[in-house]
Amino acid sequence: MTSVVSTPAELPSQRAGDHGIPFAEAVGVWARIAALSFGGPAGQIAVMHRILVEEKKWIGEERFLHALNYCMLLPGPEAQQLAAYIGWLLHKTRGGLVAGALFVLPGFLAILGLSYVYVLLGQTPLIEGMFFGLKAAVLAVVLQAVVRVGSRALRNNVMRGIAATAFVAIFFLDAPFPLIVLLAGIGGYIGGRAGLPAFKGGGGHGSAGGSVVHDADTALGEGLPEHARPNLAWSLKISGALLVLWLAPVIALLVFAGPDNVFTQIATFFSQMAVVTFGGAYAVLAYVAQEAVGTYGWLQPGEMLNGLGLAETTPGPLIMVTQFVGFLAAFRETTGMSPLVAATLGAILTTWVTFVPCFLWIFAGAPFVERLRGNRALSSALMAITAAVVGVILNLAVWFAIHTLFTRTRKVDFIGEGLDVPVLTSLNVAALVLALAAAVAVFRFKTGMIPVLLACAVLGAGYVAIV
């Protein structure tokens, strides 16, 4: 859990551009960061820290962590929002737009291309086998996320209790993810305001290692650029523009296509998701799976694993898996247009309503972020949300395990809810062996995520070819 870093309230101001960093050079650096952004938010944040703080010395450790603290409080992918925040800090609005957009673009193009391969060639033995192997590997990766986030967030029995309650609520009671986040945040805020010891933060992502680069020793320096000071008129103007960009397509689809149109459903569902995606991609995937598979019927349970496998092996935020969901939803629906054209539009629409709100949160709030420094209650709310997210990710791991390791499930009644349980005789031994091998590689030998995913894809293709 990242604590809020206290810094002096008043810092000297400076004009934008005084740092001497050419905008063209910054664009090249953001493109480089985007191309290297594999491995989930922790890896992406480490890449940004290494390049921006340690290598370029454009900003210092204190400012980097403060920006990260703010992004941790927001819904959406924190690494992408951190890029947009720092881009805005360096080169105003255009800097934030370029940094945030470039962070998404390589992953969008890569997943779009792989989605074409999936729908056109997915039934061939080679591609089918590769996705079979990816599913097994992704199970190990999600379990690793449970351990990684849990070791950071569950530092006392209260936090463990929040995580356990969240797991029971979403797995057994089918409670909606937004409600879990809301209740955890309220509980954490109250606990922080009351000064309860269990809600006191500490730790965080940390730096990438090496000596600390202080703000005073960087291009941006300790001063605040003029545009980084609170300006209500600018915030209202940029917020209004981004709200129109975000919601105009949603409203147009509702009015002209109707609520039952697949594009309308994509726009409204992923717009709602953009508001509640606290805790990162792994947490929200449980919510997406719950709705996309169970409510809308856009794809099969195993296909969520395929999509996550694509997102894990491409650069950019893991939440880009939603693009794969939107692609398949539009591809399989009768829209009156070519399935591939519809799918492409579905992917673009999903990405649009997922990421435009990220810029809204950054540009609307960043100039006022100084007021969040030292706010223990907000930090405590985030701590409780992160603890709840551990339980949600564990639910995702169990859900994935059931649909990866077993070929059949059955519904059982549990307190009025239909609970999916595996048919034990349908155990897929090959999937179990691959998943165990991936888990050993990840946990015992600390093998990187990309080698594990690629190795399992190759083994899966070989297995399907043999049988």
Span 326-337, average pLDDT:
91
| Tens of pLDDT, residues 77-112 | 888 999 999 999 899 899 999 999 999 999 899 899
pLDDT recorded at residue 80: 92
Axis crossing angle, helix 339-365 with helix 262-276, rounded to the nearest 10: 30
First to last CA, the chain: 46
Q: Reply yes or no on whether the pLDDT at 11 is more than 80.
A: no
Q: What Rg value do the Cα atoms of the chain yield, rounded?
A: 22
| Tens of pLDDT, residues 16-41 | 456 788 999 999 999 999 887 765 67
Predicted structure pTM score: 0.73
Residue length of the chain: 467
In the block, tokens 């209260």 appear at: 158
Distance CA 58, CA 90 (A): 9
Q: Reply yes or no on whether the pLDDT at 230 is more than 80.
A: no
| Tens of pLDDT, residues 114-135 | 899 999 987 788 888 888 888 8
Distance CA 252, CA 258 (A): 9
Grade residue 281 by pLDDT with cuts at 50, 70 and 90.
low
Burial of 299 (0-12, 13-18, 19+ CB in 10 A): buried
Span 433-442, average pLDDT:
93
- Mean pLDDT over the full length of the chain: 83
Q: What percent of the chain has pLDDT over 70?
A: 88
pLDDT recorded at residue 16: 46
